[in-house]
Amino acid sequence: MAAVATANGLPVLSSQAYLEGKTVWETRTLVADLCRQFYTLGWVSGTGGSITIKVHDDSIPKSDQLIVMSPSGVQKERMIPEDMYVLSSGGDMLSTPCAKPYPHKSPKCSDCASLFMKITHMEMIKGIQGHGYFDELVVPIIENTAYERELTESLSDAISAYPKATAVLVRNHGIYVWGDSWISAKTQAECYHYLFDAAIKLHQLGIDWKIPSHGLIKNESYQSGSKRKFNVYANSGLAVQASVPSRKFIVLDIEGTTTPISFVTEILFPYARDNVRKHLTSTYDSLETKDDIKLLRAQVLDDLEKGIAGSTPIPPDDTGKEEVIESLVVNVEAMIKADRKITALKQLQGHIWRTGYENNELQGVVFDDVPEALERWHASGIKIYIYSSGSREAQRLIFGNTAHGDLRKYLCGFFDTTVGNKREARSYFEISQSVGVDKTSQILFITDVYQEAVAAKAAGLEVILSIRPGNASLPENHEFKTITSFAEI
């Protein structure tokens, strides 16, 4: 049996007993449960954000209680207790989730880890600590950064400037809420969600200031140095009624829908073809490229069995680097020429294009009506996703570096062929399960490909066909609504 030391008369962990005990497991289960519920409520995106809870155990001093943290890059609605990280109170990693079988990526601890803070001397009134019915609620808003760990300084400054605050909003990212227990943090998150949702609905109705006869809501935002302040006054008995469309999600194709086909066929494909040998040679020994080669090997073996034209056997690694690369180049060039919609090719292309964007040799292209539409839909509360045959990384690169700036701030997630073939109804059902809709009809899918439209409709989605310059002709007398610009939606 593990030895247990004591501090102030209470036991302190000195073995695996606490780490593998009932309270830690229950907290792991709770985090997984909350991730699914918060995703369903729309409070967190598919893989973004993190939920962190301190393990409550009266037999362990608070200073020694462990921390359970959800992983990064895992769909919130699919998390299980085994996916969680366990950290010491000082932030040291004690337990990590096991890697899942290929093609799942290795788990990653969220950058939120360095932002975890212990907050004391909080009061609990009307759901929001330190606030009563007639009090003013002040929530600091700070600017987003490239990585969550880089928020530490501005988050600390905001908490110092507003010591009574129990939450901080991060622009185009989300909200950090804390409390003296997971129950109080969850309760406050629900309250903030209600207040912000009410403020947004009233803003959409044109009500931006406190109305003396009702005392509804005051929603004020102003610049103060690098900080902004968001003041909300709410009557808890108020039922705000606003016209909310049944369409809550929009899923967009890229090629021929948000982006000209010519950009893909005349810019991206040739760049990948012309740089595949250079890329494989310079990155051959990296883990990422080894994974790309493994995927290509499996695809080529399958192609050879099916007699796919252009397929060439790839020699084993011990044959030599040059021979392996030569065969890979031949296969990749044949795949690109045939415009194969396969994960092995799309993943490698995404990695090649990333280098092009980083070297300023490539810039993402979208139609001029796209940025305004994305901003408008996002402001109305609609969640926007991308579904393309290109890899998720390639999708992010297109929208992250355009003449209109970084458009990823309007997007909630990306789907590629790992979710399924775009011409199969099952793929769209999988997407609907991932985004968490009550009815598949709440999703609008926009594409230029008739076969994709048919598949999406079969899954119950609303569908619109995109007619853009250079797109293929559509069948006559098809049943779908068409648009030539997102301004029509």
List residues with catalytic annotation.
123
The rounded distance, in Å, linking the Cα atoms of 216 and 208 is 10
What CA–CA distance (Å, rounded) separates 248 from 251? 10
Looking up tokens 């080529």 gives 300
Which of 201, 199, 195 shows the shortest CA–CA distance to 245?
A: 201
Tell me how far apart the alpha carbons of residues 240 and 219 are, in angstroms, rounded to a whole number.
14
Contacts 24+ apart (CB under 8 A), 31-34: 31/68, 31/69, 31/70, 31/79, 31/81, 31/84, 32/70, 32/79, 32/80, 32/81, 32/83, 32/84, 34/186
Confirm if 107 and 79 have CB atoms less than 8 A apart.
no
* Alpha carbons 68 and 31: distance in angstroms, whole number: 8
Task: Tell me: cis bond preceding 103? Omega within 30 of 0 counts.
Answer: yes
CB atoms within 10 A of CB 176: 25
The tokens for 323 are: 């021979």
Total length of the chain: 489
CA distance 102 to 105: 7
> Helices 321-337 and 343-358 meet at what angle, rounded to 10?
100
Q: DSSP E strands: which ranges in 205-336?
A: 220-224, 227-232, 249-252
Residues 6+ apart with CB under 8 A from 436: 39, 40, 42, 77
Cβ neighbours, 10 Å, residue 245: 10
User: Can you spell out the DSSP letters for 344-374?
Assistant: HHHHHHHHHHHHHHHTTS--B---THHHHHH
Strands, E assignment, 19-73: 52-54, 67-69, 71-72
The C-alpha atoms of residue 376 and residue 245 are separated, in whole angstroms, by 14
> H-type helices in 205-286, by residue range?
261-263, 269-283
**To which residue do tokens 């990695």 refer?**
351
